Amino acid sequence: MLNLKKGDFFSLKKNTGQNLTDFCLGVSWSKVKLPLPFYLSLFNRKSLTEIDLELTCIMLDKNGNRLDWIHSPKYNSWLIQNNFPLGKLSSKDEAFKHQESDNSSLNNSDKKLIKINLEKINIEIDQIFFYLH
């Protein structure tokens, strides 16, 4: 497992010098402390609350045009307002596959996971963005 923080990067070559052909991008997060309504907060002003985020991947060509995307099939008004369809678990070239968070094959610490096969990526794809929302 490789833990990356904002600004970190890694090489797509294995320790043996061979090129990496496939990998998984997994993200996890903790519960957040949210303020309780006044009538519930006489002694404890904050409560740990589970949040649900979505992991999305967008693939662009060299001109910045969106060629493909994947994201959870859950309803999300932001996605609809920005002209994205309601969900897509696999890219057209099948190089990117979104795993549902209730899948038992996920690592316990990873809440969202995208499997990436570098050998299948469409040659027109120039930039790949992953974001959590």
Instruction: Provide the β-strand partners of residue 66.
Output: 60
Instruction: Provide the β-strand partners of residue 130.
Output: 57
| pLDDT, mean of residues 57-76 | 88
Token output for 116: 């990436």
Taken in order of first residue, the domains within the chain and their CATH numbers are 23-132 (2.60.60.30)
Report which secondary-structure segment, H or E, holds 69: strand 66-70
Report which secondary-structure segment, H or E, holds 27: strand 22-27
Q: Return mean pLDDT, the chain.
A: 80
- What is the C-alpha to C-alpha distance for residues 26 and 24, in angstroms, rounded to an integer? 6
29-46 pLDDT tens trace: 778 777 776 665 566 677
Q: Give the burial class of 91: count Cβ atoms within 10 A of its Cβ; 0-12 exposed, 13-18 middle, 19 or more buried.
A: buried
112-129 pLDDT tens trace: 889 999 999 999 999 999
Query: Does the reported pTM lie above 0.75?
Result: no
Instruction: Provide the β-strand partners of residue 3.
Output: none
